[in-house]
Amino acid sequence: MSHPEQVRQRIIELEVEHRDLDVVINALTADPAHDELQLRRLKKRKLQLKDHITLLKMQLTPDVPA
C-alpha cells in the first residue's frame, strides 16, 4: 500500500470515529443528567480528530505556488 493510500485509509478511519463521537455527544446532550466533564472531553476529542483529518487531507493535496 502506498503512502497516499495509507493516508486516505487513515482519514476514513478518523472520519468514522468523528461521526461516532457526534452520535454520542448528541445522545449525552439529550440526557438532562449528563456528565458535563465527559461531554467536554468528547467535544475536545472530536475537535482533535477534525484537526488531524484536515492535516492529513493537506498532505494529499500538492503545494500550489503562490
The confidence score (pLDDT) of residue 27 equals 95
C-alpha cell at position 50: 477534525
The confidence score (pLDDT) of residue 64 equals 72
Q: Dihedrals φ, ψ of 34, to 5°? A: -70, 155
This prediction's pTM: 0.84
pLDDT band at 66 (very low <50, low <70, confident <90, very high): low
6-62 pLDDT per residue, tens: 999 999 999 999 999 999 999 999 999 999 999 999 999 999 999 999 999 999 887
Which letter, b or e, does each residue of 37-50 get, where b requires 16 or more Cβ atoms within 10 Å of its Cβ? eeeeebeeebeebe
